[in-house]
Chain A
Amino acid sequence: MSNSSSRLYLHRLLAAAAFAFCFFIVFFARAETALLNVSYDPTRELYKAINQKFAAEWKRQTGETIALKASHGGSGGQARAVIDGLKADVVTLALAPDIDAIATQTGKIKADWQKRLPNNSSPYLSTIVLLVRKGNPKAIKDWDDLVKPGVAVVTPNPKTSGGARWNYLAAWGFAQKKFSGDEGKTTDFIKALFKNAPVLDTGARGSTLTFAQRGIGDVLIAWENEAFLAFEEFGADKFEIVFPSQSILAEPPVAVVDANVDANGTRKQAEAYLDYLYTPEAQKIIAKNYYRPIHTEAVDPEDLKRFPKIPLLEIDRDFGGWNAAHAKHFVNGGTFDQIYTPAK
């Protein structure tokens, strides 16, 4: 091997390193106003639509070009990432405790965040419904049917998924009413329900795919918006949506991450972004994406028809708020952990 060729080898290596370094610099040198929205799994489609509209609207109003970036994942994991330093300008998560966790553990969000925007800082609502296979072969009409032997229920894991906590509380609320508050019977009901669950995916979207794509289970407990989306994506000839006799009012909250927007100098944009969610234009998009809007004036009546009025439990009224619900059900050793006792 000659001297020159190995020299060449080294030079190539150095050139590659230099190239990598330049790339590195360019990567961080991009200056442009950008907003990062850290959200949970099922909102991918919603925020894709919202972001486009908002960017256009912001450009029209201020002349400023804004880049909207999105990150989606399990709600708890996303909150954890923000706590650990993910530079989110706004968070739009599945449940209030996840935003509370950011507020209490880091102070990056002010403690009164939920009072800063209308409707508990929830610009859209949803509920929990049941998605069954076409023709409803197991004749599932209500929560009772989920505990019957031989019915396979798909739901994500409440420990890792925000949506799953709404599922859990909806089922709990139903059982509580059915057994007139008998705690023991309610627990047994929930136990029987989870006995019927062959898979606990880590996120709501994972569960939808397990049910719809992999053909597992007879019924999927899902966000209403997720059920409609599965309908749209996989074809209405495959599934039916069952609205149970009662469910829960899910309020996915949004908040500006104060410390991050102040550091990024994006407070104005971030606040405008969240305010935009409450505008008639955004509410229309929200309804189109199968979330229940809070203002219905501009919403397409066709879209509204999709959302039947069913009695909905409320987290504050019926469960004493998230803190109480969390402490009772989802902490280590809570009612969820008691379902899976090692005695088998």
Chain B
Amino acid sequence: MLPVAWRFGQPSPLPGFRLALCGTLLWLAVIVLIPLGGVLLRSSSIGLAGIWEIATQPRLMAALRLSFGLSLLAGVFSLVVGLLIAWVLTRYDFPGSRFLDAAIDLPFAMPTAVAGIALTAVYAPNGWFGAPLAALGLKVAYTPLGIFIALVFIGLPFAVRTIQPVLAETEVELEEASATLGATRAQTIRKVILPPLIPAALTGLALSFARAVGEYGSVIFIAGNIPFASEIAPLMVVMKLEEFDETGATAIAAIMLGVSFAMLLVINLVQAWTRRRLGHG
């Protein structure tokens, strides 16, 4: 995909490598690595056994299950909806399509707390959507469903933005060829259009999942915080802190960090795999 500007082993004639790399590493260390290292160090003071004990507390397990499960569900949902939106935005030209395209990034630019308060107001039993839904007997705010909606709000842009460029790149000629060869439209979609999208879709899923697991601001207002039912993992960190148990908080944080890192690893593996399949970087 990308032209390689240099070959490995060939010294680059360009200057500034050392300065740029040292600056980057220094900054990375100060802002990211040392603070996160501090969290790991503090959590390690209770040892792996201690972390395991905290991790396996039923209440935390329930919160982690809820956060992971809902994030995955929201990710998959975002993926399906994102595919649809990306398809419509890349393939069809209609009045307002550019406006919609710009609006995809809205959740990204919206402050999380504002989104959280607004979503809660919309989906509360006396809100714009909450009232009709409540009339149907469906509670949204303060239930896992509310958390799910907040997570979709957060995750959808990632799904759309990772799929969109790949979709735009696929060649229409292939589809035409497929149709000429007698494939139905459904077959073409399944056999020709979707397969190249898989890596991008997986990346989008992983990105939105990683973001959703840790999300706090937009979720905390709409979550009901009932133990074993609607309590999210980041809240458990906050709760440990309010109980003056900083070590416990860092232990949960360490678990969540592990998940973040694993997700990033997945993204990178998927991308490496894509690159190998496509033959070049």
Contacts and interface: CB of A to CB of B under 8 A. Distances in A.
Given A199-B226, A341-B58, 11 more contacts: A74-B242, A77-B241, A197-B226, A198-B226, A202-B238, A214-B121, A215-B125, A216-B125, A340-B59, A340-B228, A342-B58
A159 interface: yes
Given A214-B120, A342-B58, A342-B62, A199 B244 contact: no
A7 interface: no
Nearest to A80: B241
A95 B126 CA distance: 34
Interface in B187-237: 220, 224-228, 235
B197 to A, nearest CB: 37
Interface string B120-136: 11001111000000000
Contacts of A83: 244
A330 B141 CA distance: 27
Contacts of B241: 77, 80
Contacts of B62: 342
5 contacts: A80-B244, A200-B224, A200-B226, A202-B239, A342-B62
A157 B225 contact: yes
B239 A215 contact: no
A202 B120 contact: no
A199 B242 contact: no
A216 B59 contact: no
A100 to B, nearest CB: 10
B59 A337 contact: yes
A175 to B, nearest CB: 20
A231 to B, nearest CB: 19
A101 B238 contact: no
Interface in A140-190: 157, 159-160
Interface residues of B, number: 25
A101 B245 CA distance: 11
Contact of B125 (A79, A159, A214, A342): A214
A74 B243 CA distance: 11
Interface in B242-271: 242-244
Contact of A342 (B224, B228, B242, B243): B228
Contacts of A344: 228
Interface residues of A, number: 28
Nearest to B120: A214
A65 interface: no
B142 interface: yes
B242 A160 contact: yes
Contact of A159 (B120, B141, B228, B243): B243
A341 to B, nearest CB: 8
Contacts of A215: 124-126
Contact of A77 (B124, B126, B235, B242): B242
B225 A200 contact: yes
Nearest to B125: A215
Interface string A332-344: 1000010011101
Nearest to B225: A200
B19 to A, nearest CB: 16
Nearest to B245: A332
A216 B142 contact: yes
Given A101-B244, A159-B243, A202 B235 contact: yes
A201 interface: yes
A80 B242 contact: yes
Contacts of A159: 239, 242-243
Contacts of B235: 202
Interface in B87-106: none
Contacts of A332: 243
A216 B125 CA distance: 7
A76 interface: yes
A210 B221 CA distance: 10
Contacts of A199: 142, 224-226
Contacts of A201: 225
Interface in B127-164: 127, 139, 141-142
Which of B120, B126, B127, B224 has the most chain A CB atoms inside 10 A of its CB?
Answer: B224
- Kindly list the 9 A-B residue pairs having the minimum CB-CB distance in the complex, ordered from nearest: A76-B242, A214-B124, A340-B227, A215-B126, A342-B58, A199-B224, A199-B142, A200-B225, A77-B242
A119 interface: no
A202 B227 contact: no
B233 to A, nearest CB: 15
B279 to A, nearest CB: 35
A112 B224 CA distance: 39
Which of A214, A215, A342 has the most chain B CB atoms inside 10 A of its CB?
Answer: A214
Contacts of B141: 214, 216
A341 B142 CA distance: 20
Which of B124, B220, B239, B244 has the most chain A CB atoms inside 10 A of its CB?
Answer: B244
Contacts of A160: 238-239, 242
Contacts of B142: 198-199, 210, 216
A74 B238 CA distance: 11
Interface string A197-219: 11111100000001001111000
A30 to B, nearest CB: 27
A264 interface: no
A199 B235 CA distance: 14
